[in-house]
Amino acid sequence: MAASLPTTFDRPVHIAVIGGTGLSQIAGYVPVAAVTPVTPWGTPSSAILILEHAGVPIAFLSRHGKHHEIAPHEVPARANIAALRSLGVRTVIAFSAVGSLQEHIKPMDFVLPDQIIDRTKGIRPFTFFEGGVVGHVGFADPFDAKISQVVQSCAASMKGEGVTLHTGGTVVCMEGPQFSTRAESNMYRSWGGSVINMSALPEAKLAREAELAYQMICMATDYDCWRNTEGGEDVDVAMVMKYMAANSENAKHLVGAVLDELCKQENTDLVLAKHWEGSAQGAVKFMTKPEGRNPEAMKRVEYLFPGFWEN
């Protein structure tokens, strides 16, 4: 389908949806273009589809590629975030299939986390600011509370007996691609983890560096492996895919309602992430003295923020 679509799109696109496992497209939307920006960090996981929602263009990117051929540690997160920003994107709604670490978060439930525990192993490129330009952005609250509120206000769009949208909670981001051991799963519970995935990082960190408003919507597909002793089954891929298929209707309802809200005139400043504007500028510009800056690294930063070094 993407092959016959225009490969350019000449209007800025401010909102993006990143689809994860079991969500390589969003049902009900007909793409009007498929663009593949070439960034200083390479090309994104897949062509970015431009969809129209009530006349507003929306970017859709499949994190693991069109056919789920990219493992969590191989996702080109820097290219993904840089490519979205280059199209004009300032708000990202990122979907993720997660294991539940808490009894009350049932498979099929949705979770809007507000914290992350990093259990990746440092093998994924995780910053734009390196190689001769240093920057330290704040990451105390890794998700966007304002976007989270918008998603919360759309909870009623979901269907199904007892399906819940939990607000707040901690997503543990593990390295994978293997699932956790039972000892690890129990340890994450003892740390207060709510859900677990392999995708929140470095995506959320890079979104912050790129001054994007970023919120992950987690969809619980399993109880990982901690619940085995209480009669539960250990997570496997079939279980994840089964619940994702069952959940895709709700994902569609929720994303439709969230986009309706975000596209409202009154949310223009929010969607443009005015509240993050300048945060990376402050974190980068004053760190590395001009005489220590590497022109190549400066050029890469310039791709993210055109005109960054001019004043």
Ligand X SMILES: Nc1ncnc2[nH]cnc12
Binding site for ligand X (CB under 6 A): 97-99, 174, 179, 196-198, 221-222, 224, 235, 240
Nearest distance from C-beta of residue 98 to ligand LNRAV4D5, angstroms: 7
- Of residues 109, 114, 144, 222, which has the active-site annotation? 222
- The answer to whether residue 170 forms part of the interface with ligand LNRAV4D5 (CB under 6 A) is no
Which of 45, 100, 197, 250 forms a contact with ligand LNRAV4D5 (CB under 6 A)? 197
Beta bridge partners of 91: 15, 213
- The answer to whether residue 240 forms part of the interface with ligand LNRAV4D5 (CB under 6 A) is yes
Which residues, in sequence order, are CB contacts of 306 under 8 Å at separation 6+? none
Which of 72, 76, 113, 169 forms a contact with ligand LNRAV4D5 (CB under 6 A)? 72
63 known ligand binder: yes
Q: How many CB atoms lie within 10 A of CB 22?
A: 21
- The answer to whether residue 96 forms part of the interface with ligand LNRAV4D5 (CB under 6 A) is yes
Is 144 considered catalytic here? no
223 known ligand binder: yes
Q: Are 23 and 68 in contact (CB under 8 A)?
A: no
Burial of 92 (0-12, 13-18, 19+ CB in 10 A): buried
Binding to ligand LNRAV4D5, residues 262-301 (CB under 6 A): none
Question: Which does residue 63 touch among ligand LNRAV4D5, ligand X, none (CB within 5 to 8 A, set by kind)?
Answer: ligand LNRAV4D5
Nearest distance from C-beta of residue 172 to ligand X, angstroms: 8
Residue 236 or residue 269: which is nearer to ligand X going by CB? 236
- The answer to whether residue 62 forms part of the interface with ligand LNRAV4D5 (CB under 6 A) is no
C-alpha distances out from residue 280 to 101, 127, 151, 156, Å: 33, 12, 25, 35
- The answer to whether residue 198 forms part of the interface with ligand LNRAV4D5 (CB under 6 A) is yes
Query: In the chain, what is the greatest distance between 2 CA atoms, to the nearest angstrom?
Result: 63
Q: Are 83 and 34 in contact (CB under 8 A)?
A: no
3-state SS class at 57: strand
Nearest distance from C-beta of residue 229 to ligand LNRAV4D5, angstroms: 22
Q: How many CB atoms lie within 10 A of CB 19?
A: 23
140 known ligand binder: no
Dump the DSSP string for 218-246. EEEEE-TTGGGGGTPPPP-HHHHHHHHHH
Core vs surface per residue 279-294: b (16+ CB within 10 A) or e: ebeebbbeebeeeebe
198 known ligand binder: yes
Is 141 considered catalytic here? no
In which residue are the tokens 């209707």 written?
249
Nearest distance from C-beta of residue 67 to ligand X, angstroms: 18
Question: Which does residue 81 touch among ligand X, ligand LNRAV4D5, none (CB within 5 to 8 A, set by kind)?
Answer: none
Nearest distance from C-beta of residue 262 to ligand X, angstroms: 26
Residue of 145, 94, 135, 80 whose CA lies nearest to 115 = 145
Q: How many CB atoms lie within 10 A of CB 123?
A: 9
Q: Which positions are annotated as active-site residues?
A: 222, 224
> Which residues are annotated binding-site positions for substrate?
198, 222-224
